[in-house]
Amino acid sequence: MSSQMVIRMETQLKQRLARLARMEGKTTSRMIREVLESHIKERDIASYIDDLWSRIGKRLKDRGATVHDVEKAIRAVRKGDK
């Protein structure tokens, strides 16, 4: 569900945003949403780690690795084995 938010900004910034939005064929609301989403994505470490684990898991699964293989590799690394 969407909700509204009111923000205050300098008139000049609002005008620049509107001009940029028009140049890209977007609404100012869409531009602000995209900027906020990008900003949060870049700084939200939890989401980054979740995504990283998902990618690692997919690659391991694609290579046919099993839970046993992963556990064995973890034990080896913890022991200092290669």
- 60 shares a domain with 39: no
CA distances to 30, 46, 55 from 43, rounded to whole Å, are 20, 9, 19
For 61, the domain range is 46-79
Confidence (pLDDT) at 42: 85
Q: Where are the alpha helices (DSSP H) in 1-82?
A: 11-24, 28-43, 45-62, 67-79
Q: What is the pLDDT of residues 16-75, one digit of tens each?
A: 999 999 999 999 999 999 999 999 988 888 888 998 999 998 999 999 999 999 899 889
Confidence (pLDDT) at 13: 97
Tell me whether residue 26 is in a domain. yes
pTM across the whole model: 0.56
How much is the average pLDDT of 5-15? 96
CA distances to 35, 41, 44, 57 from 47, rounded to whole Å, are 17, 7, 6, 15
* pLDDT above 60: residue 82: no
Confidence (pLDDT) at 81: 64
Tell me whether residue 39 is in a domain. yes
Tell me whether residue 2 is in a domain. no
